Amino acid sequence: MLDKSNSIYFRNVLDNLKNEHLFRQLRIVNEIPSSRNRDPALNICDFSSNDYLALSKNKILIEKLQKVSNNSISQCSSRLISGNTSSLEELERSLSTHRNSETALVYPTGYMANLGVISCIADKSTAIFSDELNHASIIDACKLSDAKTYVFSHNNTIELEQKILSSKENRKIIITEGIFSMNGDFAKLVEISKIAAMYCCILIVDDAHGDFIVGSKKLKNYSGTPSLFDVDRYVDIHISSLSKGLGCFGGYVSCPELIRNFLINKSRSFIFTSALPDFMCEIATSSIKLAKKGTQQEKLEKNINYFHNFAKEQDIPGLAKNIQTPIIPIIIGSEKKTVTISRKLQTRGFYVHGIRYPTVKKNEGQLRVSLSAAHTYDQISDLIENIVHLLKQ
């Protein structure tokens, strides 16, 4: 039983969050009531998931899941003990072929990949240069490392260069996302990779939201944002999640063999945790094959274009207009208004998550519209009309 003073402490913290409209609650998404029974599985039209290619509900993958899960549920062990299997290694081979990298290393989640990679390659003599909008897992990883972290303004390459020049540490690491998870914009990877090469920095790109979605237009490889900007060769370590474009679960790093060996020996969130279950590795390997066909990305691209063309006619205040990715933010401002609009959209049958501090800055609450290849044009135009209506109220 918590004693009285501890209970008061926790209650005060939560009460303050409630007063600031920052209190978070879990919702059972498949039970959200809706008058609009569009998606029988969800009972609501979901514009919040990161399942951009709609592979998490792909029939072929679900059929396969029923077969592969016969063997065992989990290895119940870390990879260095008895958790390493041929399915894991096969997944890593598929991922390194996908990324055209020397090797890959799978982690249980993308969060753990960031934590494990950054905290172990950065030591006391290291400076980390991190974009201010980088994901929480990168921020936490920087905190966990012994390095000095220099945060530069979002995509501000002049400031990045100045910070590198004024830093005194011997080793330097630049870390940025490929497609930013909340803003939906691209990192300026051409400029950033030039700076990394000029100042001998290790360049790490967390491309959780670009991987399998974008890639070289010529090769149609969907290998992520560095490939889209043709700077793959300058990226030393590429980090990604299997739970977004691929519709599965897990995280991975693609990198040179030298780094892989370093991580296997030094990365604590790789060493001291159980291996990603075998069945998930097998599904992820099959999902890569489907994702590489490119049909879902073509549908997604049509939906992104449709969204912007329809939105142009409506003139939505706060809408980021030049975003050619599936993440489309609409800045609302106050946390209270953000939550209210998100809730009202829910009662109208749309699930669009209201993003608040600390995920974004205070008073910069936003609706994060996340498009998928499975949305129909009708669903997209209905959503936009409802947002416009609510914003005018």
Ligand X SMILES: Cc1ncc(COP(=O)(O)O)c(C=O)c1O
Q: Footprint of ligand X on this chain (CB under 6 A)?
A: 109-111, 114, 135, 137, 177, 181, 206, 208, 241, 243, 251
Q: Which is nearer to ligand X, 242 or 374 (CB)?
A: 242
Partnered with residue 52 across adjacent β-strands are none
- Report the residue number, 245 or 251, with the smaller CB distance to ligand X: 251
Exposure string over 312-327, b if 16+ CB within 10 A, otherwise e = eeeebeebbeebebbb
First to last CA, the chain: 47
Closest distance between ligand X and the C-beta of residue 101, in Å? 18
Q: φ and ψ at 358, to 5 degrees?
A: -90, 5
- Cα angle 89, 243, 132 (rounded to 5 degrees) comes to 110
Residue whose CB is less far from ligand X, 107 or 350: 107
**Whether the bond into 358 is cis, omega within 30 of 0:** yes
Distance, CA of 350 to CA of 342 (rounded, Å): 9
Closest approach of ligand X to the CB of residue 168, in Å: 29
Min dist. Cβ of residue 117 to ligand X (A): 11
Query: Minimum distance from CB of 131 to ligand X (Å)?
Result: 11
Of 193 and 243, the one with the shorter C-beta distance to ligand X is 243
In the complex, residue closest to ligand X by CB: 110
Alpha carbon separation from 97 to 19, 66, 90, 100, 205 (Å, rounded): 50, 27, 11, 5, 18
Q: How far is the CB of 178 from ligand X (least distance, A)?
A: 8
Q: Which is nearer to ligand X, 118 or 374 (CB)?
A: 118
Q: How far is the CB of 177 from ligand X (least distance, A)?
A: 5
Q: Which is nearer to ligand X, 192 or 384 (CB)?
A: 192
Is 274 exposed, middle or buried (CB count within 10 Å of its CB: 0-12, 13-18, 19+)?
middle
